[in-house]
Structure 1
Amino acid sequence: MSIDRAVYTQALKADGEAIAEAGRRDINAAVPSCPDWTMHKLLAHVGRVYWSVGRHVAERATEMIPADEIPCPPEGAAIVGWFEEAHRFVQEALDGADPDEAVWSWAGQNTMAFYFRRMAHETAVHRWDAQAAFGEPGPIDSDLAADGVSELFEVVLPFAVANWNMALPDASLHLHRTDGEGEWLLVNDGGSIKMSREHAKGDAAVRAGGTDLLLLSWERIGLDGPGVETFGNADAARAWFALSR
């Protein structure tokens, strides 16, 4: 794991509770940061992830559990209770897990540590989405967000590029965190993502706080946001961020 386990578990707990709270407000509310999603669909998506991860972790599964064995979400307002049950289930499963224990994961990082990190970031970004549906998204902890940027470009997107035949931008991108430590250089290395943590010049550069860098990287906000500075080839920066769609 990249940061302390307790940070991940606390984020999973607090942000999951915040998603449920947003769901109770209106399951039919549109989620502007996820086109065509309502709060019901957001709860269904995250809840299914929780049920799946919870089962893999609780059962110490070393092979993928088929999707048709994962509980499907109910219609209507019952989705909130179903989500809350899934949230409790994945927390309880992770509470009993050693980060070094073996478990299957889609990313090929087959230890429990992968899921502590992944569940924290999955939940943090979707918590922001859920609150944005009501115009009130709170910030993501900046250190957690910076770790989320690293996870996206060193784990999530390399897997996607390798398995979905995605084309990478030719131009390089440098990211610079302004409210703490954190710099990343992203390069197209023969069709694979090469990420290094260094102060270096890219064809494009983006400076912002940790929360904004994570939201930019997951294409939740644009380069025109307050507190975001862009230098060089802005189209290249947009192309890198578009990979997370």
Structure 2
Amino acid sequence: MDLLSHEHYCTAIERLTDELRRTLNGADLDAHVPTCPEWTLRDLAVHVGGAHRWAGEIVRTRATDELPDEKVPDFTPASDDPAVLDAWLAAGAAGTATALREAGAGAEVWSWSWDASAGFWARRMALETVVHLADAALAANLPYAVSPELAADTIDEWLQIVSFAQAEGDEEAAELRGAGRSLHLHATDVPDAEWLIELTDDGFTWRRAHAKATVALRGPLTDLMLVFNRRLAPGSDRVEVLGDAELLDFWLERSSFG
């Protein structure tokens, strides 16, 4: 699997945050987010902006341990004023992108993952924003679109995260096993955007491939990504489920941690 370039991720953080700001502009920030029911739109924005600043500070300081929130400058906006929130989001994304560019992808920093590098955080923050921009668009009843390369990378990264969680002993992810069962994701609008997930007695494996599976999820790539991240119901008329739909539900229920 080839990652996108470090600069691609840095640019995406800034661009997607600008799209998030446009989505929030004029919206009711107290409206609840259907895909994150404990959050309002304001909560979602503060989460995204705080995550950007936290990751940026980890990279800027070359942290070797997890950074407490209180050590992150301006971790939350100074007030609930929409204009203050907007400026805070913009400044946080710009500052994080700058820190990532100055560090370079290979800089060694703390992470919770399999990859202790600035490159991990560039990718993680870009794709975090991909998903939460979808949350905001759904809450504001606005159209949502993401580039094919970022949509595909969001699926790749989530599979890596679920695999890592399983290896680390996460109880839900540990149940994603059972030899002889498999899932196939097939994008109908982007060539070669297909994934095969095979469950084994020891866990699961995945690869980009076309193959017959126990259950197949077909549809536009962005919609596949949204289903896989539990932002679109698999019963939506925007996608098609062929085969054992219960296996797809099983996967989605047990990859919902975090």
Instruction: Give the TM-score, by structure 2 length.
Output: 0.86
The worse-fitting range, judged by mean Cα deviation, of 161-170 and 222-231 is 161-170
Match of 1:103 in 2: 109
Equivalences, count: 244
SS in structure 1 opposite 2:4?
coil
1:40-79 mapped onto 2 (5 Å cutoff): 40-70=42-72, 71-74=74-77, 75-77=79-81, 78-79=84-85
Contact 1:102–1:110 (Cα < 8 Å) also in 2: yes
Contact 1:175–1:206 (Cα < 8 Å) also in 2: yes
In structure 1, the gaps of 5 or more residues are none
Contact 1:169–1:240 (Cα < 8 Å) also in 2: no
Rate the CA distance shift 1:205–1:10 in 2: closer, same or farther, 3 A.
same
Contact 1:204–1:237 (Cα < 8 Å) also in 2: yes
Paired residue type of 1:175: L
What percentage of residue pairs aligned between the two structures are identical? Answer: 32
CA distance in 1 between counterparts of 2:8 and 2:50 reads 23
Match of 2:3 in 1: 2
Q: Alpha carbon RMSD of aligned pairs, Å?
A: 2.0
Instruction: Give the TM-score, by structure 1 length.
Output: 0.90
Rate the CA distance shift 1:234–1:58 in 2: closer, same or farther, 3 A.
same
CA distance in 1 between counterparts of 2:137 and 2:165 reads 27
The worse-fitting range, judged by mean Cα deviation, of 123-132 and 2-11 is 2-11
The worse-fitting range, judged by mean Cα deviation, of 4-13 and 134-143 is 4-13
Q: Tell me if 1:90 matches 2:81.
A: no
Paired residue type of 1:104: W
SS in structure 1 opposite 2:58?
helix
CA distance in 2 between counterparts of 1:231 and 1:55 reads 45
| Aligned with 1:143 (options 149, 157, 160) | 149
**Pairwise CA distance, 1:173:** 1.0
